[in-house]
Structure 1
Amino acid sequence: MMLTCPLCASTDTGHFHCDSRRDYHRCRRCALVFVPPDQRPEPAAERAVYDQHENSPDDPGYRRFLSRLFDPLRERIAGGAHGLDFGSGPGPTLSVMFEEAGHPMAIYDPCYAPDVAVLDQTYDFITASEVAEHLFAPGEELARLAGLLPAGGWLGVMTKRVTDQAAFARWHYILDPTHVVFFSEATFVWLAGHLDMRVEFPAPDVALLQKH
């Protein structure tokens, strides 16, 4: 069965993997792997998973985890650059780290910080840590974020990447029911071209996209 890719809207998609819980399809155009729409979690079930997260800026382990995105992005932005942490979660931490480094930050999260007014402003950089894999409409959402950046602005995305089909079948990342789309390096290369950006991969889970 061919489904429409939620990133690039291609219908050139095919079966990639299945397990006892869900099916996974892969787009032949942008290489995104995705769960069919009818197998995504309901809003209440999705929120229940998010409410279990216990992330906090007081947790040094969580800060170390986020440093995989924070460190390379911090090296590429100007002093005082203004940022948005998109999908900040119940315990915003990446925004705190940037603020501590002298960068004014706004936060947005549809569950925990739902002020959509922040999405009508422009930013020098935007972060999306462990967010992309949750997006039901990643093409629409990521294009919207790119539109909030000026030329030279950065979009920093941290999400674990698909490597191959055999590894995918054993991957713990697919066990989370709120993970519904899965990016590979090829997916980010397609995305960068589509959004008129260039992409770097400074760490295995990190993609940095800069607007031309």
Structure 2
Amino acid sequence: MLLCPLCAAPHPLHYHRDSRRDYYQCATCELVFVPPSQRLGPDQEKSVYDQHQNSPDDPGYRAFLGRLFEPLNKRLAPGARGLDFGSGPGPTLSVMFEEAGHPMAIYDPFYAPDSTVLEQHYDFVTATEVAEHLFEPGRELERLIDLLPAGGWLGVMTKRVQGREAFSRWHYILDPTHVCFFSEATFRWVGDCWGLEVEFPAADVVLLRRRERLRK
């Protein structure tokens, strides 16, 4: 039985088909996703990532990441400690936060696989251009949220689903490593599920803050 990889609800609806893959949408959380049988294997996935040429020396890449960096940095206390999850082959966002006075750890399953950093706690966690790659977004988001104290921030950057017609013409689905697609409604579901305040401060950016008083 096909289950939603975010909320585990059964019986997702077929949403779209292109020449390579099928896409399903969950009726509960509205996540759109590629079924497991149509995902790349680890070696194929890494070969795509190896082609990325991101660097902290690239001002264009810094400007791109600034859409998340700037609104999140404004909300952080001086010296807040962070984790950049899915830092990629050329960690840059972590450098930007360190330059702003925030000690940073990084984690990436391919390029910085020291999982001991996931056993610590942080004032904020970032995941830029990561959510769309997650095979198990529910498990991964829960793990990241558990790293945060009450009042801690999770900053996510990923392009959002805007409807079925736009989806069919969307360049974002052409990347074979993109397997999960969130909408604004999906992020609001995430907020309700894990007790997070949700903000959309910029295009493709969502900030989720763990509530000071978690709901019972």
Query: Distance between the aligned counterparts of 1:196 and 1:34, measured in 2?
Result: 24
1:203 is displaced (CA, Å) by 1.1
1:204 is displaced (CA, Å) by 1.9
Alignment root-mean-square deviation, CA: 0.6
Match of 1:24 in 2: 23
Match of 2:67 in 1: 68
Superposed CA deviations along residues 70-117 of structure 1, whole A, max 9, x for unmatched, are: 000001110100000000000000000000000000000000000000
Match of 2:2 in 1: 3
Moved over 6 A (4+): none
Query: Distance between the aligned counterparts of 2:193 and 2:91, measured in 1?
Result: 30
Residue 12 of structure 1 contacts residue 29 of structure 1 at CA under 8 Å; is this kept in 2?
A: no
Residue 69 of structure 1 contacts residue 158 of structure 1 at CA under 8 Å; is this kept in 2?
A: yes
Q: How many residues align?
A: 211
Query: Distance between the aligned counterparts of 1:110 and 1:68, measured in 2?
Result: 24
Query: Distance between the aligned counterparts of 2:200 and 2:61, measured in 1?
Result: 21
Residue 108 of structure 1 contacts residue 114 of structure 1 at CA under 8 Å; is this kept in 2?
A: yes
- TM-score normalised according to structure 2 size: 0.97
1:1-212 paired onto structure 2 within 5 Å: 3-212=2-211
Query: Distance between the aligned counterparts of 2:146 and 2:85, measured in 1?
Result: 14
Superposed CA deviations along residues 127-161 of structure 1, whole A, max 9, x for unmatched, are: 00000000000000000000000000000000000
| 3-state SS, counterpart of residue 99 of structure 1 | helix
Query: Distance between the aligned counterparts of 2:66 and 2:36, measured in 1?
Result: 33
Query: Distance between the aligned counterparts of 2:3 and 2:122, measured in 1?
Result: 31
- TM-score normalised according to structure 1 size: 0.99
| 3-state SS, counterpart of residue 179 of structure 1 | coil
- Provide structure 2 residue ranges, at least 5 long, that are not aligned to the other structure: 212-216
Residue type at the aligned position of 1:128: A
Query: Distance between the aligned counterparts of 2:87 and 2:194, measured in 1?
Result: 23
1:30 is displaced (CA, Å) by 0.2
Query: Distance between the aligned counterparts of 1:202 and 1:167, measured in 2?
Result: 22
Residue 22 of structure 2 contacts residue 35 of structure 2 at CA under 8 Å; is this kept in 1?
A: yes
Query: Distance between the aligned counterparts of 1:170 and 1:192, measured in 2?
Result: 28
Superposed CA deviations along residues 2-39 of structure 1, whole A, max 9, x for unmatched, are: 62000000014110000000000000000000000000
Residue type at the aligned position of 1:127: T
Query: Distance between the aligned counterparts of 1:48 and 1:177, measured in 2?
Result: 11
- Provide structure 1 residue ranges, at least 5 long, that are not aligned to the other structure: none
